Chains A and B, each alone.
Chain A
Amino acid sequence: MSRSSLWLSLVVLALPFTGVTFLIYETVGFNWSELNDEAWRASLAVTLYVTLTSTLLSLMIGTWLARTIYMKRSSWLASLLKWPMFVPHVAAAYLFYLLFSGGFPVYGLFEANERNHLVVILTYVWKEVPFVFLMVVGTYGQLNHGYLDMAKTLQLKPLEQFRVAEWPFLVKPLLDSFWVLVAFISFAYEVPALLGVTFPELLGVLAYERLTTGLFLNAFESYAVALIWTLFIFTGVVASYALTAKQRRRIERGMRR
């Protein structure tokens, strides 16, 4: 049973790799200096800002909520927290657009289509916190209470307690979530297209736009950006997993009860 599904999975998952191969093939001979124009540079900056802010906020809030809910056994909040997961990103973006574009009295700092991209970040945080929560809460469920009790007995400060008794077990789920979110947010189209501004645009929006506004020459720019970005994320994933491999393995052994 498992072997046939493995084969089918591998056939299906070979497709995105074909996509990357195509990008490599298309960008042979591309003049990379063309990417050094202002639109791409500004796009890179704002993409890093939006991606990292939303990802880190989601990770922190998600972990904090998982911890709170686990400690206080607040099951009503846990089930409420699932709600945003039922909303596809496109729909979430539209709901936030409706609320913040002027049809609703939440004016001021937060407004759709403004340069600080606060509503974009808000949308992502709202959508991704439940995801992080889901990834992390399992770890808390399995957490060996012995560690926490020991940390308390040693009279460590709360932060120290967290660092010693919880953090090591959170590394793996948080690392997983971090890269999934970074990969997703940094090259998505729907949310920033609806809530972003004309300049600077996020990478996904700019790449898609240059592909479809008919300037054929610019298609290669988009392919090149997509390729570098994918390889950049791959490198980050592989490097961070390699660096933490030893620690994670040690912890995994400790976690088995």
Chain B
Amino acid sequence: MHRLKQLGLLVSLVFLAACGTTRAEIAPTFEEAAEEAKQSTVNFYMWGGDDGINRYIDEYVAPRLKETYDLDLNRVPMDTAEFVRQLSLDKRANREEGTIDLMWINGDNFRNAAEAELLQGDLLDKIPNAALLNEEAQATDAGTPTNGLEVAWGNVQFVLHYDADKVNNPPTTFDELHRWTEENPGRFTYPEVTDFTGNAFVRHLLYAEYADTVRDGEIPDAFWEELSTWSPNLWKQGTTYPKSLAQLDQLYASGEVWMTMGFNERRAEAERNAGVFPDGTRALTLEHSIASTHFLAVPFNAKNPNGAIVVINELLSPEAQLAKQDATYWGDGTSLDLTKLDATDRDAFLKLDEGVTYPDPQRLAERSIPDYGPAVIDLIREEWDRVAK
């Protein structure tokens, strides 16, 4: 009996401790936020599958923040959908003081988080460097208006990469790519459509056939039948697909398939230089390429929202954006509007446009198309099983 009492006491104490927390507020001005954030830690949740991106945060960004703002940045690697799920569980459990302070997000994950009211609003006026943003990139996220719930961090386009030592006459359109797979069976595949990149590849094929006519979310059966004709000539006869882009990259690196793909036209440079991707890796720009922006957001229950604001401002600074676009770390396109920068900064960005695996920037820009909305992404996820079967 005595033990029972002790236990009850312990449990109720823990409860009391948990109920005392309230939501943290963002300070009215940036200076006050920076003051508040001193000597605090910001938990930055982001997809952790790319070594270059991780090194950019750990080796470049974190030390700068420590020096300038006396603030510790803790990078937490986790899949985006996973921490959005965690936030929605937080919401359900009324957890007002959470673990995530800042997160990297876009596309359907953003749409879901916004719909479930998991994000803090009015971010832009609290961040001085937000004035430098490319307004078009900032406005919408894969068709969903951003409404100040997230801040553009980078801007990239979808490209394929191929091994020029093995592929002599690279295709120039998606139709030719189809024919190429028939001539080279087993040498091409794309990630499952639950994967961000795999889904985007299918959207490109959809655009090649139907352009803007399917934006409202009705995909004709004929499209799926057409896509099924790709299967017999894909890797493993299309009986299975790589689960993620990382797995496709691994197949490409080992020479099992001869092409890979992904958002970010500069992503292959560091991999090639490190000897992971074959030496003959070159970019392949087909007749169109989806432009995609990725963003930073602060969750509703961030413990340290002021710190998050400071980090976002630093990530949007021209120097940090320049280091991000450089092939040393990541090669990610800037989300800033180059015309808003001063001349030396602008020149520095333009100088970065040379790389063995980079596509011709002009041609890529000409072929850029806006993304379909989340409705199409969902639809592809739901109906693609017919092809995989």
A190 within 8 Å of B by Cβ?
Answer: no
Task: Please measure, in the bound complex, the distance between the C-alpha atom of A114 and the C-alpha atom of B109, giving whole angstroms.
Answer: 31
Q: Report the minimal beta-carbon distance from A191 to chain B, rounded to whole angstroms.
A: 13
B85 pairs with A212, CB closer than 8 A: yes
Tally A-B pairs: CB < 8 A.
52
B240 within 8 Å of A by Cβ?
Answer: yes
A17 within 8 Å of B by Cβ?
Answer: no
Contact of B239 among A7, A42, A114, A214 (CB under 8 A): A114
B192 pairs with A198, CB closer than 8 A: yes
A216 pairs with B240, CB closer than 8 A: no
Contact of B81 among A114, A197, A212 (CB under 8 A): A212
Give chain A residues whose Cβ lies under 8 Å from the Cβ of B108. 214
Contact of A215 among B88, B236, B378, B385 (CB under 8 A): B378
A113 within 8 Å of B by Cβ?
Answer: yes
Give chain B residues whose Cβ lies under 8 Å from the Cβ of A113. 236, 239-240
Contact mask for chain B residues 1-30; partner A; CB cutoff 8 A; 1 contact, 0 none: 001100100000000000000000000000
Contact of A214 among B112, B385, B388 (CB under 8 A): B112
Question: Contacts A39-B385, A198-B192 given: A214-B241 contact, CB under 8 Å?
Answer: no
Question: Contacts A212-B79, A213-B194, A216-B112 given: A7-B7 contact, CB under 8 Å?
Answer: yes
Q: Report the minimal beta-carbon distance from B118 to chain A, rounded to whole angstroms.
A: 11
- The interface on chain B, measured as residues whose beta carbon lies within 8 A of the other chain's beta carbons, has a size of 28
Most buried by B among A114, A115, A199: A199
B116 within 8 Å of A by Cβ?
Answer: yes
A4 within 8 Å of B by Cβ?
Answer: yes
Contact of A213 among B88, B381, B385 (CB under 8 A): B381
B388 pairs with A199, CB closer than 8 A: yes
Give chain B residues whose Cβ lies under 8 Å from the Cβ of A213. 81, 194, 381
A199 pairs with B81, CB closer than 8 A: no
Task: Please measure, in the bound complex, the distance between the C-alpha atom of A11 and the C-alpha atom of B8, giving whole angstroms.
Answer: 11
Task: Please measure, in the bound complex, the distance between the C-alpha atom of A193 and the C-alpha atom of B244, giving whole angstroms.
Answer: 11
B82 within 8 Å of A by Cβ?
Answer: yes
Give chain B residues whose Cβ lies under 8 Å from the Cβ of A38. 385, 389
Task: Please measure, in the bound complex, the distance between the C-alpha atom of A113 and the C-alpha atom of B256, giving whole angstroms.
Answer: 15
B286 within 8 Å of A by Cβ?
Answer: no
B3 pairs with A115, CB closer than 8 A: no
Task: Please measure, in the bound complex, the distance between the C-alpha atom of A209 and the C-alpha atom of B256, giving whole angstroms.
Answer: 26
Give chain A residues whose Cβ lies under 8 Å from the Cβ of B7. 7, 11
Q: For residues 237 through 252 of chain B, which have their beta carbon under 8 Å from a beta carbon of chain A?
A: 239-241, 243
B81 pairs with A7, CB closer than 8 A: no
A102 within 8 Å of B by Cβ?
Answer: yes
Residues of B within 8 A of A (CB): 3-4, 7, 79, 81-82, 84-85, 88, 108-109, 112, 115-116, 192, 194, 236, 239-241, 243, 256, 378, 381-382, 385, 388-389
17 contacts between A and B (CB under 8 A): A3-B3, A7-B3, A11-B7, A39-B385, A113-B236, A113-B239, A114-B236, A196-B240, A198-B192, A199-B385, A199-B389, A212-B79, A212-B81, A214-B108, A215-B381, A215-B382, A216-B88
